[in-house]
Amino acid sequence: MDLREVEQRGRKKALSGTIKLSVMIFMIILASDTYSQVLAFTQAASGLVDFVLGLNLAPIMVIIGIMIVLIILGCFMESISIMMITVPIFIPIITFLGLDPIWFGVLMLVNLELGFITPPFGMLLFVAKGVSSEDITMSDIWKAALPFVFADLIGIILLILFPQIVLILPNMMGIK
């Protein structure tokens, strides 16, 4: 077996992986776009806004509830899928409550980043396992990730309590 055969086999494998990943991403986008259209057509988002407002919760409680939902989804799903599914639902609630969408967007992104390192299905945990030696178990990687999970949770709490951390730069730029 010569080097050209190995290179050609590697290219075929890379091309096959790229096609599979591209099809998967396309299907996620197609399904989420369809989902968004169904939400818009059925006015489900406005129904959800009415439901949430009917609970008479303080805006901070709504945000905490949304963050908990995002953390739970982040444990099991990929970030883009979560955004495509939840943004059409959460943004109308946020805007109706009079909260800043830029602030919420940053909160959501930090929360989704947390999903990358949250057991059991955090994508970066599997990347770490793939590049680590064979004597390191997934349990070891999960334990090593916990301080970062707690640090991210503290960061999210700070961003919720002090929105100015997020909004100082957009406010200085006159974005509102």
User: What is the average pLDDT value for the chain, to the nearest integer?
Assistant: 85
Buried b (16+ CB within 10 A) or exposed e, 98-112: ebbebbbebbbebbb
6-15, 28-37, 48-57, 145-154 — which one is most confidently predicted on average?
A: 145-154
Per-residue tokens: 14: 């890379």
Neighbours of 176 (CB within 10 A): 8
Per-residue model confidence (pLDDT) at position 161 = 94
Neighbours of 150 (CB within 10 A): 10
* Res. 175 pLDDT band, cuts 50 70 90: confident
Closest CA to 146 of 172, 114, 109: 114
Question: Is 46 a residue whose pLDDT tops 80?
Answer: no
pTM of the model: 0.73
What is the C-alpha to C-alpha distance for residues 73 and 110, in angstroms, rounded to an integer?
14
Per-residue model confidence (pLDDT) at position 176 = 67
What is the C-alpha to C-alpha distance for residues 110 and 155, in angstroms, rounded to an integer?
8
Percent of the chain with pLDDT over 70: 95
Per-residue model confidence (pLDDT) at position 20 = 82
Mean pLDDT, to the nearest integer, of 12-37? 78
Question: Is 163 a residue whose pLDDT tops 90?
Answer: yes
